[in-house]
Amino acid sequence: MKNNKHPNSRKMISLGQIAGWIAVFVVAVLLFNRPGTKSNLLDYSDFKQKVAASEVSDLSVGSEVISGMYKNEQGQFVPFKTVRMTDPDLVKELSAANVKYKAEKDNSWIGNILFNVLWIVLLIGLWWFIFLRPQRSDGKSAMSFARSKAKMQNPAEQTVTFKDVAGCDEAKEELQDIIKFLKNPKKFQKLGGKLPKGVLLYGAPGTGKTLLAKAVAGEAGVAFFSASASEFVEMFVGVGAARVRDLFDQAKKNSPAIIFIDELDAVGRRRFAGIGGGHDEREQTLNQLLIELDGFESKQGIILMASTNRPDVLDPALIRPGRFDRHISVPAPDLKGREEILKVHAKKVKLNEKVDLKTVAKGTPGFVGADLANVVNEAAILAARADKDSVEPADMDEAIERVIAGPQKKSRIISKHELQVIAAHEVGHTLVARLTDHSDPVHKVSIIPRGQALGYTLQLPVEDKFLVSKSEFKDRLCILLAGRGAEEIVFGEITSGASDDLNKAMAYARKMVMELGMSEKLGPIALPSGEESEVFLGRDISRHTTYSPELAKVIDEEILNLIRSSYARAKEIISSHRAAFDKLVTVLLEKEVVEANEIDEILGLKKPEVQEETSAQQSADDLAKQTAAKQAGPKEPATQGDLFDMEGK
């Protein structure tokens, strides 16, 4: 391996060390020869005369030297020293002259050395320890702040492979080419193909982007450098760029290798945007990263992988072809993917034979890999707390509810009247959800507080949905407003318990009118809501004034009409089924939790049939997802507003 350092670098370092040593020596000499109080040297005979005349004071009598103060010709007391002679009568003469004195032990030559030399050695040693000490193996010396903090994993230490990753088959297929190229680069180079310089993994938090990067390194059997983007930027100017250079230098020495940068948006956000301009240190780090991506060739066998939750705020120069050539979406898993993920995590847990992971997967729509891992772990903890031999279905159900709504709070004291209001509110949601045609089935209703909720109605879909119709939106509005309507019908008064429902209903209605073209009066148009311009996420300040005040008035009217009509419809459904409503409220107050079968029995309804997906439909859904992901790309990803709430209330 060639040494790319400048040939004069060692000479420069040695000159710098010599200059440091000279500076230390000069400081030591100055400190050692610091100016002090000058003492007059007296002959011993003169000293005796001064004692007899009582013109001395503050004597320190040592075995070899006598020092103190004496009166000079001007009548001032000044310091003096004299060599002590053999004089047995000295003490008597001092006492007779009434001169105060004290005995002082003279320092030995060893003490003088320790006092005058040792502190100089200590200063030099401190200088060496801080500045001149060689670089330690852990990389934590004082002068190593410019070195990369990336952690390197040797191929022998990597145990994560694609067997440990489930629920993202499309992403794994996209990464297979990289693995094959790292294993056999000549196969692609003979046809003129080049290895992608950068691979960007983007998706919601917890979907397994970091795990995918580790699996690629494990499958390829190459060195793996992992670092967080926030580790590059420090308080010192230029440190981020220096760490980027050092990271790529380490990867080149250990090629073929994979460099993985987590949360790339920490340093890769758009430059010269937002309030107050850009962050100079962050932008220097980004510029160095762009230079490194342009600088190394594919034949070096280095691949840069990065992950982000916000690809929309990344700098366009970073994600263009030639830098991050491949953009891979890692979406939330579907029903089949959730089942595979549960199987991976369930290997470490002792499950009861009655636990059906497919049923658990059906009850966790919208969950990502991290959520599913948490469900399995929570179920194991609950089973161990109850001294069970294995994890039972009841433990899995409780774990799902804990992840969705939080732990139960049975100790919370609620008055009888408030409990009745909560029960009526939740039964209103349950009744309307069960009697509308386009709503998800009700799994259970409870008035046991969980998290911040005093009660909840749990709706779970029978299949994954990627499209939501206008009728489904209207039913959701009706269900959200049913709790408020039930309070008004039963008690003749409303409470603050529907605040979250009102916020969700308003968001749905605004989305229908302004973004999805579901307003009959406005027609198929989409209008900017003004919420997508986030200044502090690397975007410029922008004002949306693309529609007139008259159109804004029509928008407000359409939103209010949707809310009011849905509220009236919910109250009508509750009023027309008042007997079943009252009966369900009574049962809920007695049992606190009512399951789906008992709800259907009270309402006189049949259990909804689960529609199993055929293989053809599943293939069509997979094709639709792949097409949508490719069309969207990382520049315009699906926002949180596009991810519809699958859990209901």
Residue at 406: amino acid letter: G
| Residues pairing with 260 in the sheet | 226, 305
Closest CA to 72 of 105, 98, 39: 39
Which of helix, strand or coil describes residue 211?
Answer: helix
Distances from the Cα of 445 to the Cα of 442, 458, 551, 596, 599, angstroms? 8, 6, 41, 8, 9
100 is written with which tokens? 């105060």
Q: Distance between CA atoms of 314 and 324, rounded to whole angstroms?
A: 11
* Burial class for 461, CB neighbours closer than 10 Å (0-12, 13-18, 19+): middle
**Rounded (10°) angle between helices 9-32 and 119-127:** 150
If you search the block for the tokens 């450098």, which residue do you land on? 225
SS3 per-residue string spanning 305-339: EEEECCHHHECCCCCCCCCCCEEEECCCCCHHHHH
Q: Distance between CA atoms of 209 and 554, rounded to whole angstroms?
A: 44
Neighbours of 388 (CB within 10 A): 15
Neighbours of 220 (CB within 10 A): 23
Q: Distance between CA atoms of 21 and 325, rounded to whole angstroms?
A: 51
Give the DSSP letter of residue 515: T
Q: Distance between CA atoms of 544 and 524, rounded to whole angstroms?
A: 19
Q: Distance between CA atoms of 240 and 597, rounded to whole angstroms?
A: 60
Distances from the Cα of 448 to the Cα of 24, 406, 431, 572, 592, angstroms? 73, 11, 18, 27, 6
- With a CB cutoff of 8 Å and minimum separation 6, the contacts of 556 are none
If you search the block for the tokens 């230098």, which residue do you land on? 249
φ and ψ at residue 218, rounded to 5 degrees: -65, -40
Helix ranges restricted to H, 515-614: 549-576, 578-591, 596-603
450 is written with which tokens? 């969980």
If you search the block for the tokens 């408030």, which residue do you land on? 418
| Residues pairing with 583 in the sheet | none
Residues 280-286: contacts with CB within 8 Å, 24+ apart?
A: 280/237, 281/233, 281/234, 281/237, 281/238, 281/239, 281/240, 282/233, 282/240, 284/237, 284/238, 284/240, 284/241, 285/232, 285/233, 285/240, 285/241, 285/243, 285/244, 286/315, 286/318
Which of helix, strand or coil describes residue 202?
Answer: strand
Closest CA to 421 of 478, 484, 480, 481: 484
Instruction: State the catalytic residue, choosing from 426, 487, 558, 647.
Output: 426
- Is residue 426 flagged as an active site residue? yes
Q: Distance between CA atoms of 198 and 187, rounded to whole angstroms?
A: 20
φ and ψ at residue 175, rounded to 5 degrees: -85, -10
Residues with catalytic annotation?
Answer: 426
